[in-house]
Amino acid sequence: MGFLRLRLIFSFLFTVLALAASAQDSAIGYWESHLPYNNAVGLATDGKTLFAAGVQAFYSYDPTSMSTPVVPYSKAEGMSDIGMQCIGYDGGTGTAVLVYANGNIDLFKDNTFYNVADLKTKSVSGTKQVFQVYTEPGYAYFSTSLGVLVLDLSSQTFKQTFQFINEVLNNEIIPVQSFTGTDLYFYAATPIGLFRANKNSPQLQNYQVWKKVDSTHALTSMANVNGTLFFSTPTAVYTMVADTLQLVYNVPPNVTIQHLDQGGSNLFVSTYNDTTYIGSLKTFNTAGIITDSTSWSGKPVQAVQRLDGTVWVADFFLGLSKIFEHGSYPYIPNGPADPSTFDIYAHNKTVYVAHGGYTTSYAANSNGNGVSMLTNGKWDGLSQAARTAQQTMRDMSVVLKDEKKGTLFAGSFQGGLLIQQPDQSVSVVKTDVFDSSISLFFAQQRQVVGLGLDKSDNLWVTTFGSQHELYARSAADSSWYKFQVPGASNGGPLVVDDNDQVWFACYQEGLNGGGVAVYNNGGTLNDPSDDASYVLVKGAGAGNLPSNRVYCLAKDNSNNIWVGTDNGIGIVGNCSAPFSQTPPCDAEIPIVQYDQYAGYLFAGNAIRTIAVDGANRKWVGTDDGVWLLSPDASKIVYRFNVDNSPLPSNHIQKITVDHVTGDVYIGTEMGLVSYRSTATGGGETNSNVLVFPNPVKAGYSGPIAIKGLVTNGDVRITDIAGKLVYRTTANGGQCVWNGLDYTGRRPQSGVYLVFVSNSDGSQTYAAKIVFTQ
């Protein structure tokens, strides 16, 4: 029968179950989801608390709560999946029923998620779409493409299935769009008519006991308002009189009915105008007369009424919204503007996310949601000037901040380059800004695809579809320079190495990619005579890339360039002078052994993104999830995917490491998550050393992190008398201790000292740790 799996909150393979470490920092191994909550697809209530289902996530809202009225949930809090399509609530068991687009089901009760995966794992031909959830005490009835599935909410198992057969069309199963019940009957709305059966019939699973009440209307929604039944097609509302559907309301042209819902003693009809983009909620009494109507710029998809009489809607653009006399007001958790996370910049808990980007063949995605910014724990968005400027820009593809000067750069695939100065003033670089000498800058759609800063803070820009692939903005006077690189017809993502050489991916239509270009400007932007360039492609002596289709580049802490392609990874060694040697700078494609298998590094896999953490480890994003590799890629440290982590998707778009905090930000087309890693960026000295948790309280068995250390320093922990308790090496600027001494025991209560030294021993005492009973 049914398969039940209790989702224990925050239990994932390869992660560490740890308590909150301090008010400032999360514990090592802690996951956090950063999802948009504005796209609501369903709404339910117990009369007090509202349960809102969004495309990406689920949240509850209690208007009477003075402390935490809005509580967001995601896979990090125990949900089993992402991508919801409808929701219901059963007051008999106090259970919210969450339905995902892939057929997965979560039951949310007492702040715990219980997974029922039967429908998701069931092998069927066609889709497993669930159109609606209807509940009666103890049971949930799912209107699906397979009929009506009946779930016992107490045992959490499916008990029955009501299927309807189209005898005219080869006995095909008819999808059920909506399902409801009265005191005596069940009703099922299908594309070929309305069916009814007595609730007490012992043969409800036999479709022949279901009487076809109406065969004229293709009904999509139903609601029972105190015994009066209402039905709808996409354009009209009906009520039943003597087993006959009678018209109550016809919508105007271009308006579509989204849903029917009971609200106290009234009927709510949610509609949307596809031309004017105006939503409306109309209220009918049981006589079918409109008693109220409210319109606003949104798309309502479901409505409920709390016991206090307030009316709330799930809006596809605005999230959970409360209805007022002249419109609505949204109540949603804080989050980014869009799930798509094409590029990420993160530094010291401030995060910028570019939404949109372009396809693997460099076609526009037409996403207008710009750049989202996380600061002080809140997604507040950019300045008003930047938001205004972004209205003419689509498909933000890359974002970068000059931390020395505070200047933000955001490139778009349709609209040029946005520059925000520290005083919040904004300019947008487009063709008409420049003189004739660089009039071809950002030609046509002004497609910016790569940004980077060199040691002199000069900004380097790559573009797609321009005559010149590479541009530079002087840090000294903001002058622009253009560079045409032989063999590189289009620019792509770029990195600047420790020698101020610019490496960027190339793209050539029909040639399976164009390899990687490296450009050396000779230390002068205005003198092209000392410039040199080289394009690396597949083949020994020509670059030795694993493939010419290059998706990403990364520079590691040893100044090696890691090249991610559609056929694995190539590594270009510390190449300070690639143009004076023959052949110039071939990539290495290492053979590595994982488990009992050996082969080229990620051969056959598309590498979408590579990030380097403070310990020089490589975070690799693929179409099958995330891999953390040791510095030389010989070992797998972690592997994360949708099954063992809160990742919303296995299709990774971008990974970025915050080298100050150690947080790893992982972006997908379905949303952004972060993971508190064990490595941070190190320095030349022990600076602002932080130990968390500190003090270490009795009963705590999680990891203890010490950050702010000298890079890869030798770490020794002693008691107050100088007796060595533990010794390790920092991962970049952070080390992690399991809190046990060499005998495997927890140290006694007291004060312990942390000593960290670099190679010459010039850095010593760093911090203290207090263990309490």
**Which residues, in sequence order, are CB contacts of 314 under 8 Å at separation 6+?**
40, 41, 42, 43, 52, 53, 300, 301, 302, 303, 320, 321
CA-CA distance, 356 to 366, in Å (whole number)?
7
**For residue 123, what pLDDT is reported?**
81
Q: What tokens were used for 171?
A: 């006995």
CA-CA distance, 694 to 90, in Å (whole number)?
44
Q: What is the DSSP letter of 389?
A: H
Q: Any idea which residue has 């019939």 for tokens?
A: 201
Q: Chain-wide mean pLDDT for the chain?
A: 87
Question: Which segment, 16-25, 511-520, 680-689, is predicted with the most confidence on average?
Answer: 511-520
Domains 343-676 and 690-771 share a fold: no
CATH of the domain spanning 343-676: 2.130.10.10
The model's pTM: 0.86
H helix or E strand, kind and range, residue 682: none
Lowest mean pLDDT among 282-286, 375-379, 618-622: 375-379
Instruction: Using alpha carbons, select from 345, 464, 348, 365 the residue that is nearest to residue 409.
Output: 345
Q: What is the DSSP letter of 436?
A: G
301 CA to centre of own chain: 23
User: Phi/psi zone of residue 343: left (φ > 0), alpha (ψ -120 to 50 degrees), beta?
Assistant: beta
Using one digit for the tens of pLDDT, what is the confidence trace for 240-257?
998 999 999 999 999 999
Taken as a whole, the chain contains a residue count of: 773
Q: Which of residues 25 and 352 earns the better pLDDT score?
A: 352
**Which residues, in sequence order, are CB contacts of 410 under 8 Å at separation 6+?**
352, 354, 371, 386, 390, 396, 398, 399, 400, 417, 418, 420
**Which residues, in sequence order, are CB contacts of 25 under 8 Å at separation 6+?**
661, 676, 690, 692, 705
β-bridge mates for residue 332, sequence order: none
Using one digit for the tens of pLDDT, what is the confidence trace for 570-604?
999 867 665 666 667 889 998 887 766 668 889 99
**For residue 651, what pLDDT is reported?**
97
Q: For the chain, which residues make up each domain, given as ranges?
A: 343-676, 690-771
179 touches 143 (CB < 8 A): yes
Lowest mean pLDDT among 184-188, 243-247, 645-649, 682-686: 682-686
Using one digit for the tens of pLDDT, what is the confidence trace for 450-486?
999 999 999 999 988 777 889 999 999 998 998 888 8
Class of the CATH domain delimited by 690-771: mainly beta
CA-CA distance, 450 to 447, in Å (whole number)?
10
